Amino acid sequence: MPRAEHGISRDDISENALKVLYRLNKGGFQSYLVGGCVRDLMLGEHPKDFDVVTNATPEQIKGLFKNCRLIGRRFRLAHIVFGREIIEVATFRGHHADDSDESGSHLGKQDEQGQLLRDNVFGTIEEDAERRDFTFNAMYYSVADFTVTDFANGLEAIEKREVRLIGDPQVRYREDPVRMLRAVRFAAKLNMSIHKDTAAPIPELAHLLGNIPPARLFEETLKLFLSGNGELTFKLLNQYGLIAPLFPQLKPYLHDSKSREMQFISQVLANTDERINSDQRVTPAFLYAAMLWYPLEEYTQKLALESGLAEHDAFNIAATEVLQRQTQRIMIPKRFSTVIRDIWILQQRLPRRFGRRAYQLLSHPKFRAAYDFLLVRGQVEGGSALELADWWTQFQHAEPGVQKRMLNELRKHEGGAPKPRRKRRRRPSGGNNADA
What is the rounded CA–CA span in Å between residue 149 and residue 142?
Answer: 8
Q: Which of 12, 49, 342, 372 is catalytic?
A: 49
- Please give the angle made by the CA atoms of 172, 175 and 176, to the nearest 5 degrees: 90
Q: Which of 51, 128, 150, 273 is catalytic?
A: 51
What is the rounded CA–CA span in Å between residue 30 and residue 33?
Answer: 11
62 in Cβ contact with 70 (< 8 Å): yes
Task: Name residue 101's amino acid.
Answer: D
Strand partners, 149: 140
What is the rounded CA–CA span in Å between residue 317 and residue 336?
Answer: 18
Is 51 marked active-site?
Answer: yes
Which of 236, 288, 242 lies closest to 265 in space, CA to CA? 288
Task: Name residue 15's amino acid.
Answer: E
Q: Write the DSSP string, 337-389.
A: HHHHHHHHHHHHHTT--TTTHHHHHHTSTTHHHHHHHHHHHHHHH-HHHHHHH
Q: What is the largest CA-CA distance in the chain?
A: 104
- The DSSP code for 418 is P
Q: Which spans in 104-148 are helix H?
A: 125-131
CA atoms within 13 A on the CB side of 213: 6
CA atoms within 13 A on the CB side of 287: 26
- Interacting residues of 404 by C-beta distance below 8 A, sequence separation 6+: none
- The DSSP code for 272 is H
- Please give the angle made by the CA atoms of 109, 123 and 118, to the nearest 5 degrees: 20
Is 372 marked active-site?
Answer: no
Is 133 marked active-site?
Answer: yes
Q: Which of 40, 128, 133, 150 is catalytic?
A: 133
What is the rounded CA–CA span in Å between residue 24 and residue 415?
Answer: 77
Report, as residue numbers or ranges, the catalytic residues.
Answer: 49, 51, 133
